[in-house]
Amino acid sequence: MTTASAPGKIILFGEHAVVYGRPAIAVPIHQLSATVEISSISTSPLGTIHVEAHDIDLDAWLHEMNPDHPLAYIIHLTLDELGVHDPPAMGIKISSSIPIASGLGSGTAVSVAIIRSLSNHLGQSLPLKRQSKLAYEVEKIHHGTPSGIDNTVVTYAKPVYYERGRDPEIISLGAPFTLIVCDTGVQSPTAVAVEQVRKSWQDDRSTFESLFDEVGSIVRQARDCIERGKIIELGLLMDQNQVLLEAIGVHSPQLQVLIETARNAGVYGAKLSGAGLGGNMIALVDPANANSIENAIKSAGAVRTLTTEVIE
Ligand code: PMV
């Protein structure tokens, strides 16, 4: 049996502006992961692949699946990349502890875990850059113009400084830091938020270009703070990035409640994370206070919270 996995992720700084060529920072969440197990089926003919994903009630033969289904798509794409046209019969079993459709990278982690397990099972290894590129192809199904940050952070499984069209840079941490990730419970498809921002940008390019520039400047400062372990300054930058995200128009009343609650509970900084208009907010906290802050945010209506330490 061959097993491989990939972590969840969260965007720390620079969402939306990253679609327009500015840098962004994302970190893996190692306590959440997608895992794929592949076992040989000696009784079936060459090329027969069985796919099982209980989380989404899927139990099917690959040839019966719609080729545009993200799981079928990434399996075919990986086999093509490996130049394998008649793979030995196998069963692919997918499981994940990453909540689905919540900006925590569940789909991406599943893609990366499939790419890894399939290539290992077939005795080949793909460099991280190629793994990330394949996972990017699947991101395009979810929204047409993904920046590429999600597939990058999930594949490299390290804090990354990412700019479209450039090789990602791994950020080394001056000190570990603690985040609370809080889900508003309001589902917000990334494609909808990205499209809304695109319309606003088309209506008023000069305002949006300067907002994105300001975000870019915050991201560069944030990288410096992360590398130097300046956690209090990092929190202030999160608050500044949040102000810009509000101006970009991806705030929501539910995010507002959670962010205000977090601030009143004494966090270093808080902001929405990912697409916005719902989804997640993140708070940077002193680990000694994480429990009480997490409880306060839960009482304010977060449907799920997760405290995570960001490490190298
Ligand atoms: O919803 P998430 O966490 O996948 O974040 C989307 C981030 C955007 O910058 C809005 C889009 C992108 O492709 O980078």
- The top-level CATH class assigned to 2-162 is alpha beta
pLDDT at 260: 98
**CB-based burial, 150-180: b 16+ in 10 Å, e otherwise:** bbbbbbbbbbbbbbbeeebbebebeeebbbb
Query: Considering only 184-188, 194-198, 222-226, which range has the smallest mean pLDDT?
Result: 184-188
What residue spans in the chain does CATH classification 3.30.230.10 cover? 2-162
- Average pLDDT over all residues of the chain: 96
Distance 275 CA to ligand 1 centre (A): 5
pLDDT at 99: 87
Instruction: Give the pocket of ligand 1 (CB within 6 Å).
Output: 11, 15-16, 18-19, 103, 146-147, 149-150, 190, 193-194, 274-275
Rounded to the nearest 10 degrees, the angle between the axes of helix 290-299 and helix 253-264 is: 140
What residue spans in the chain does CATH classification 3.30.70.890 cover? 172-310
pLDDT at 127: 97
pLDDT at 224: 98
**What confidence tier does 37 reach under pLDDT thresholds 50, 70, 90?**
very high
Q: Using one digit for the tens of pLDDT, what is the confidence trace for 156-182?
A: 999 999 999 999 999 999 999 999 999
DSSP 18: G
Query: Which atom of ligand 1 lies nearest, measured to the CA of 145?
Result: 13
**What confidence tier does 44 reach under pLDDT thresholds 50, 70, 90?**
confident
Structure tokens at 86: 């008649």
- Identify the CATH assignment for 172-310 out of 3.40.50.1100, 3.30.70.890, 1.20.1250.20, 3.30.365.10: 3.30.70.890
Query: Which atom of ligand 1 lies nearest, measured to the CA of 280?
Result: 3
Which residue would you say has higher pLDDT here, 258 or 103? Answer: 258
